[in-house]
Amino acid sequence: MDYKTTSICVATQARKFLVYLFALLPFFLNGQTTDTIKESTLQEVVVKAYEQNRRLKEIPAAINYVGPSALARFGPTSIVQAINSTPGVRLEERSPGSYRMNIRGSSLRSPFGVRNVKVYFNDIPITDPGGITYINQLGYYNINSLTVIKGPGSSLYGAGTGGVLLVESMRENEQAAVEAEYTAGSYHMQNMHIAATTASDKMTSRLGMQHQESNGFRNHSAMKRDVFSWNGQFNLGDNKQLKTTFLYGNLYYQTPGALTQAEYSLNPKAARPAAGAFPGAEGAQAAVMQKQVIAGASYSQQLLSKLTNKTVFYGMFTDFRNPAIQNYGHNSEPHFGGRTVFNFTDSFKRSALHIDLGAELQQGFTTISIYKNALGRADSLRTFDEIVNRQGLVFTQASFDNKDWTITASASLNFLQVNFERFSPASSGKQKRTFSNQVAPRFAVLKKFQQINIYSSISRGFSPPTTAELIPTGGAANLDLNAEQGTNYDLGIKGTIARKMTIDVNAFIFSLDNAIVQRRTAGGGDFYINSGKTNQRGIETSINYPFLQSATFMQRSNFWLSHTWYDFEYKEFKQLNNDFSGNKMPAVAPHTISTGFDFLTKIGILGSINYYFSDKIALNDANTAYANKYHLVGLRIGYQAPLGRKLQMRIAAGADNLLDQKYSLGNDANGFGGRYYNAAAGRNYYASLAIQFAGNRQQ
């Protein structure tokens, strides 16, 4: 595919979007505009973590919240910087469109995508039963807020020691509106979005489309993404609500491959060159072509005066094609599932008791065909696999609250069954691996004070190998891999100081057994082994302060600072003649800092300045190679104002990596032959124009 020719059609596509926009106006114009970026103070934010709608500071857990105002600090093309501005979380982009997520170091086993993190999108568990999440399928505009649960969430969310991500695409009270935004920037980046929302007391419906493309900052790193989505919320009366989700995404991105230190120093923009019997990334036309459909519904109802239920059903299908340096892979990945939660609530003597009981089940059917790669085309068939996954859990949670304490106890019982058969070149016979009777408990207590709350928790989690780890693409099946199991201890304090400054400080100790680590073959393939035991210790700090909020010209302002300190090491890890015990775990920075200031004045001037620091990062288990530390500075400035009774405009421009730092984002830990480095973009710029026609909610 030649996506450079698509830039010729940008003007035509923009005109089509605008025609569609104006065609819809008569149906939505009936009120005043609203401030779409104003947000409640952090301590008042209500999150849904652990099936509890509580204020953030009242949940006894380490949680990050990324809301609309945090997302708006950066350009409207990627969520990477917004997530990385929170402590303990790292979202990497090895090339445009290629995401990898790390919560407390969990990307150690993720060469690409999101593994060992359970992700829910509008209540739908979009992490498939094989343990993979294609979060890059979501466009920027499909995300209104993200709630990150750090540490094992297995007690309510099932398998995974790396945390949980809860994504919501709509605000609680959406306003009727039609909105469009166009962004252009460096590397021939183009981003167009249009959405139409109808809203009433009985129904809210939001229809959106996004088109994004870029030539990339490295050779052979072009990207194109198209996303179509529809979300609905229906109030059916008598405390009954139906929430619907539909998303279709079509994503293409080229994969330039990792470089050695010498190649990275000579030309960090280069794609991986040919070496020996293996072609280079450009010669192999290495790329990912990914199509995905998500369709699901969540239904909440009041069964009795003290009993409610929420039930989710969904289906997903992913078509994944990957011409790579060593082969051409084609995966067909349909799966479906559901989740149900019953909640009983009773109040007595200024106290409350909440009991949750629920279950989740997922069923997946995957076929994987591996071909010889003939210049980006599938040639002769090498292997054909069928994989059937079934994963489920039952869980319960009890929470007791009074004016001074919150005490929570929960546990889940989990199972995973993997059925595998290779049919080509010859049948291997049916093979099965079962991970069952895995109990994951959690106990937490929170002491309430007037402004500050102190909490502590202990949780145990487990994470079985993903399908891609048990059966690496084009490699031999390794059904002998064992599940990771770990115990996490948290101690934290969060709340408000001097009525304005919010703080959230968390210290943790996490001990992991049978940690799964990745290895690379000469051709860029992957295989995995259990590494023994790890010790992971850290302190995560977040501060927010409404600096200049009292100024008469200021409508909203916020200063934020987050710091992460990690001391992660292998406690026991011996491989053949190598003893890595006591070494630092790779792919984890000892220190990261993110800070900045954003504001909106009463006359409509808006702006944000941000700074990010990453310490040097070990790149292999032997600790003989490191990625250099780096400093990033970004700036965004703009203006928003009404252009009439029903029209609002916002124009903004920004720059990232103002210091033009040379750094690698998304390092390939333990890369074969020292291929660790994936260069990130240098100094780059963007500008955007947004128009919104807004209306009142209908009665």
Q: What is the distance, to the nearest Å, from the Cα of residue 634 to the centroid of all Cα atoms in its chain?
A: 22
User: pTM (2 decimals)?
Assistant: 0.91
pLDDT at 36: 38
Lowest-pLDDT range, 98-102, 192-196, 504-508, 515-519? 515-519
**Residue 238 — very low, low, confident or very high, per pLDDT cuts 50/70/90?**
confident
Measured over all CA atoms, what is the biggest interatomic distance in the chain, rounded to whole angstroms? 76
- What residues does 113 pair with on adjacent strands? 100
Question: Quick one: what percent of the chain has pLDDT higher than 90?
Answer: 63
Euclidean distance between CA atoms 503 and 245, whole angstroms: 34
**Residue 253 — very low, low, confident or very high, per pLDDT cuts 50/70/90?**
very high
- What residues does 561 pair with on adjacent strands? 543, 595
Lowest-pLDDT range, 71-75, 210-214, 573-577? 573-577
Nearest CA to 230 out of 200, 209, 252, 260 is that of: 209
**Residue 167 — very low, low, confident or very high, per pLDDT cuts 50/70/90?**
very high
pLDDT at 13: 45
pLDDT digits (tens, 9 = 90+) for 275-321: 888 899 999 999 999 999 999 999 999 999 999 999 999 999 999 99
Euclidean distance between CA atoms 165 and 147, whole angstroms: 6
Superfamily of 3-694 according to CATH: TonB-dependent receptor, beta-barrel domain (2.40.170.20)
Nearest CA to 616 out of 546, 573, 571, 664 is that of: 664
pLDDT at 474: 55
At residue 229's C-alpha, the angle toward residues 228 and 233, to 5°, is 165
Rg (CA), the chain: 25
Euclidean distance between CA atoms 163 and 506, whole angstroms: 15
Q: What is the DSSP letter of 668?
A: -
Q: Residue 106 above 90 pLDDT?
A: no
Euclidean distance between CA atoms 178 and 176, whole angstroms: 7
Give first-to-last CA distance, the chain, whole Å: 49
Positive or negative, the Cα torsion across 593, 152, 116, 333? negative
At residue 94's C-alpha, the angle toward residues 91 and 98, to 5°, is 75
pLDDT at 111: 56
Nearest CA to 483 out of 165, 163, 164, 161 is that of: 161
- What residues does 212 pair with on adjacent strands? 191, 225
Question: Quick one: what percent of the chain has pLDDT higher than 70?
Answer: 90
Residues 230, 206 contacting (CB under 8 angstroms) = yes
pLDDT at 59: 93
pLDDT digits (tens, 9 = 90+) for 513-557: 887 776 656 555 566 777 778 899 999 999 999 988 788 888 889
**Residue 110 — very low, low, confident or very high, per pLDDT cuts 50/70/90?**
low
Question: Cβ-count burial of 296 within 10 angstroms (0-12 exposed, 13-18 middle, 19+ buried)?
Answer: buried
pLDDT at 372: 94
**Residue 634 — very low, low, confident or very high, per pLDDT cuts 50/70/90?**
very high
Which DSSP string do the residues of 558-603 spell out, in sequence order?
EEEEEEEEEEEEEEE-EETTEE-TTPBPTT--SEEEEEEEEEEETT
Residue type, 119: V
Phi, psi of 16 (to 5 degrees): -65, -40
Q: Which two tokens stand for residue 400?
A: 């007791």
pLDDT at 423: 87
- For residue 298, the surrounding DSSP H or E stretch is strand 287-304
pLDDT at 694: 83
pLDDT digits (tens, 9 = 90+) for 373-390: 999 999 999 999 999 999
pLDDT digits (tens, 9 = 90+) for 650-678: 999 999 999 999 999 888 888 888 999 99
Euclidean distance between CA atoms 511 and 589, whole angstroms: 18
Q: Which two tokens stand for residue 296?
A: 């699901």
pLDDT at 465: 82
At residue 555's C-alpha, the angle toward residues 550 and 561, to 5°, is 75
pLDDT at 15: 44
Tell me the mean pLDDT in the region 357-370: 95
Residues 348, 134 contacting (CB under 8 angstroms) = no
Check residues 24 and 136 and name the one with the higher pLDDT. Answer: 136
Residue type, 391: Q
Euclidean distance between CA atoms 415 and 487, whole angstroms: 19
Rounded (10°) CA dihedral 205, 193, 176, 33: 160
Strands 203-214 and 189-199: antiparallel
What does each C-alpha distance from 148 to 89, 152, 217, 253, 661 come to in angstroms? 8, 11, 29, 27, 29
To which residue do tokens 């790390």 refer? 102
Euclidean distance between CA atoms 170 and 195, whole angstroms: 12
**Residue 10 — very low, low, confident or very high, per pLDDT cuts 50/70/90?**
very low
If one counts every other C-beta atom within 10 angstroms of the C-beta of residue 8, the result is 8
- What residues does 397 pair with on adjacent strands? 356, 410
Per-residue exposure over 428-463, b if at least 16 CB sit within 10 Å of its own CB, e if not: eeeeebebeebebebbbbbebeeeebebebebbbbb
Residues 130, 389 contacting (CB under 8 angstroms) = yes
Lowest-pLDDT range, 38-42, 167-171, 202-206, 690-694? 38-42
Residues 633, 658 contacting (CB under 8 angstroms) = yes
Residue type, 684: N
- What residues does 66 pair with on adjacent strands? 146
Length of the chain: 699
pLDDT at 33: 35
Domain residue extents for the chain:
3-694
Residues 269, 209 contacting (CB under 8 angstroms) = no
| Averaged confidence pLDDT in the chain | 87
Nearest CA to 400 out of 459, 356, 456, 461 is that of: 356
Euclidean distance between CA atoms 624 and 590, whole angstroms: 16
